[in-house]
């Protein structure tokens, strides 16, 4: 079961975000059916969410956005914490969360709806220093083994697009890196900022230039909430237009995450 953290409703962290965007009663009812905004939070992507090791307090771009959304809806915010994005997506039918931020992926759209994208992140590979591979396109070749964290947005993309290489799907980024360092894989897929941060754990690795995809994240809600879905789309359009997401990224000093510009 996910660990649930409740926090008091706080004022919006970003200034200059006053809005005339009305909240239809049906949207409020669908996005906060329990009287709270239950936000599904994924701890594995530190570009969006970080956890203070001493206090356990969560912060980051995702928390800023969820606080702002809760303030717009006029309800308290409850953080429903999961370890991986796959765990968040899998819980969509369990009625444990109402809104989450996830990588936009066709496979996930079967059970959840997505807003327009709020961000862009490059995804690429790390390979062993003695590997003959020099570009992302060369990785999709017979005999090449790719480690990709199970149900991550880039893993779902690779599952749809890889034709010749073999994908191995450990649960979580650390497990993918461990498999790669033990030579159980020829390449490890990941978000470029996360791979850069992990290079100290992969002394025998080098990053490939370029990317195999750009990962876009959006706000999502379980299917069957049409009014809530429509409001999230309008909310995100406003967040992008006003620069809310860009300011949050700058405030938290996040490297490698770019806001979508309208």
Same-domain pairing of 114 and 12: yes
Q: Does 98 lie in the same domain as 87?
A: yes
Looking at the fold, whether 187 and 250 belong to one and the same domain comes out as: no
Task: Give the Cβ contact number of residue 48 at 10 Å.
Answer: 27
The CATH number for 200's domain is 3.40.190.10
Residue span of the structural domain in which 177 resides: 121-213
Whether the pLDDT of residue 96 is over 80: the answer is: yes
Nearest partner of 61 among 256, 201, 204, judged by Cα: 256
Domain boundary among the residues 213, 228, 243 is at 213
Same domain for 140 and 161, yes or no, is: yes
- Residue 100 φ then ψ, to 5°: -145, 165
Q: Identify whether residues 208 and 220 lie together within a single domain.
A: no
Are residue 18 and residue 99 in the same domain, yes or no?
yes
Tell me the per-residue pLDDT of 51-72, one tens digit each, with 9 for 90 and over. Answer: 999 999 999 999 999 999 999 9
Total number of domains constituting the chain: 2
- Please identify, among 176, 197, 213, the residue that sits at the C-terminal boundary of a domain: 213
111 and 15 within one domain? yes
160 with 78, same domain: the answer is no
Residues 181 and 67 in one domain: no
Q: In terms of domains, do 236 and 205 share one?
A: no
What is the per-residue pLDDT across 204-246, written as a single tens digit (0 to 9) for each? 999 999 999 999 999 999 999 999 999 999 999 999 999 999 9
- 46 and 65, same structural domain? yes
Question: What single-letter DSSP state applies at residue 256?
Answer: S
Burial string for 151-162 (b: 16+ CB within 10 Å, else e) reads bbbbbbbbeeeb
Are 8 and 94 contained in the same domain? yes
Residue 256's pLDDT is: 87
pLDDT tens figures, 74-88? 999 999 999 999 999
């Amino acid at each position: 079961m996910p660990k649930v953290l409740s926090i008091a409703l706080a004022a919006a962290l970003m200034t200059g975000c006053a809005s005339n965007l009305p909240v239809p009663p049906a949207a409020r009812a669908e996005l906060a059916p329990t009287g709270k905004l239950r936000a599904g939070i994924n701890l594995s992507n530190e570009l969006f969410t970080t956890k203070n090791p001493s206090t356990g307090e969560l912060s980051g771009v995702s928390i800023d956005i969820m606080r702002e959304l809760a303030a717009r809806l006029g309800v308290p915010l409850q953080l429903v914490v999961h370890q991986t994005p796959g765990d968040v997506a899998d819980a969509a039918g369990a009625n444990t969360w109402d809104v989450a931020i996830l990588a936009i992926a066709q496979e996930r759209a079967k059970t959840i709806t997505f807003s327009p994208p709020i961000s862009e992140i490059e995804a690429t590979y790390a390979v062993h220093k003695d590997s003959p591979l020099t570009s992302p396109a060369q990785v999709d070749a017979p005999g090449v083994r790719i480690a990709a964290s199970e149900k991550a947005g880039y893993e779902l993309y690779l599952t749809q697009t890889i034709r010749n290489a073999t994908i191995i799907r450990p649960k979580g980024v650390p497990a993918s890196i461990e498999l790669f360092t033990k030579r159980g894989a020829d390449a490890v897929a990941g978000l470029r900022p996360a791979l850069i941060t992990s290079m100290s754990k992969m002394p025998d690795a080098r990053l490939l230039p370029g990317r195999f995809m750009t990962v876009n994240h959006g706000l999502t809600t379980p299917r069957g909430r049409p009014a809530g879905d429509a409001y999230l789309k309008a909310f995100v359009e406003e967040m992008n237009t006003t620069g809310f997401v860009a300011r949050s990224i700058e405030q938290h000093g996040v490297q490698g995450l770019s806001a979508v510009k309208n």
